[in-house]
Amino acid sequence: MRVYSSDQVHTSIDRAIWVSGIGEANLVRIPVAGRFRAMQTAALEAAIVTDRENGMLPAGIIASVGGTSTGGTDDVAAVGAVAKRHGLYLHVDAAWAGSAMICPEFRHFWAGAEHADSIVFNPHKWLGAQFDCSMQFVRQPEDLVRTLAIKPEFLRTHGRDGVINYSEWSVPLGRRFRALKLWFLLRAHGLENLRTMIRNHVAWSESLAARLAREPDFEIVTEPMLSLLSFRHLTAAGIDSDKHNLRLVSAINDDGRIYLTQTRVDGQVAIRFQVGQFETTAADVDTAFEVITEIARGLS
């Protein structure tokens, strides 16, 4: 059995492959291209055809909308068309970026998602919900029930045929009332205030990227995808760029005014920046620019 994705999807996909028994060797990584590091659909289709010719069983595709590393985002509509042609299950992982879809102007990032078999995003990552709060949309819940339902006598609800039992939709039998968190969140802040927060975060990230790009000793490695970007501090000839930028991340975090993380883009270290904290202000992002440039030049 084969499952297809780019290398931009969250590591939870790798874990699911392990736990399910499919095995990491059967998670086929499709190359990416373009600003948003999208899965190349021609390469995806070629891999599916080749595997089928070699006796493999293609089963599903994982599309990414806003990958954790750099915001990798697939062309969901194009990937969905491949899935439909080959009769494969399509899952859309929109872990943090899915929250931005409350804003109509950002929904083009997952155009075609309505054709997916399942979609997941996490309101605790950007919408302000308390951890943990994940949302899953499923086209055919009966597939989950057929796979996961178990009905010992003590769990039967007599006289209530047709009751939806959500314990049959996932592995855990007990489930917390996570939806209540969203109920309070929406009533405390309102949909328009949540939209304003996300729009501000996107605008402030774009502004920071533009400011860093104007600095002669910085480069933008990946342009902003919503509120996530990555950059690198340039070094003089003979200085190891990866080591230098890892030192920079450590120095920034030791300073304590802001906290950043690193990733690798095409094998090289890059520094991630994302505006996502609920109470972030424009002044906080200005501070981030000052801290990044000040500490980077102090290391040179």
Write the CATH number for 56.
Answer: 3.40.640.10
CA 7/CA 27 separation, integer angstroms: 10
β-pairing verdict for 228-233 and 261-265: unpaired
- 106 and 23 inside one domain: yes
pLDDT, position 240:
92
Write b or e for each residue in 5-24: b if 16 or more Cβ atoms lie within 10 A of its Cβ, otherwise e.
Answer: bbebbbeebeeebeeeebee
- 124 and 233 inside one domain: no
Q: Which domain holds residue 261?
A: 191-299
Q: Is residue 156 part of a domain?
A: no
- 122 and 33 inside one domain: yes
Q: Is residue 290 part of a domain?
A: yes
- 102 and 50 inside one domain: yes
- 183 and 213 inside one domain: no
Residue 29: count of CB within 10 angstroms of its CB: 14
pLDDT, position 156:
66
**Tens-binned pLDDT, residue by residue, of the chain (300 aa):** 999 999 898 888 888 889 888 999 999 999 999 999 999 999 999 999 999 999 999 999 999 999 999 999 999 999 999 999 999 999 999 999 999 999 999 999 999 999 999 999 999 999 988 888 888 899 998 888 888 877 766 666 665 566 777 878 888 777 788 889 999 999 999 999 999 999 999 999 999 999 999 999 999 999 999 999 999 999 887 789 999 999 999 999 999 999 999 999 999 999 999 999 999 999 999 999 999 999 999 886
- 227 and 243 inside one domain: yes
Q: Is residue 160 part of a domain?
A: no
**Domain count of the chain?**
2
pLDDT, position 76:
97
Asked whether the beta carbons of 167 and 175 are under 8 A apart, the reply is yes
DSSP string, 234-268: ---TTS-HHHHHHHHHHHHHHH-S---EEEEETTE
Q: Please state the φ and ψ torsions of residue 182, each to the nearest 5 degrees.
A: -70, -35
- 19 and 66 inside one domain: yes
Token pair recorded at residue 162: 């047709």
Q: Is residue 149 part of a domain?
A: no
- Nearest residue to 276 via CA among 260, 253, 287: 260
- 12 and 116 inside one domain: yes
pLDDT, position 155:
65
- 196 and 284 inside one domain: yes
Asked whether the beta carbons of 181 and 129 are under 8 A apart, the reply is yes
CA neighbours closer than 13 Å in the CB half-sphere of residue 246 = 9
Residue 249: count of CB within 10 angstroms of its CB: 18
Q: What is the pTM of this model?
A: 0.89
- 39 and 183 inside one domain: yes
- Name the DSSP letter for residue 99: G
pLDDT, position 160:
58
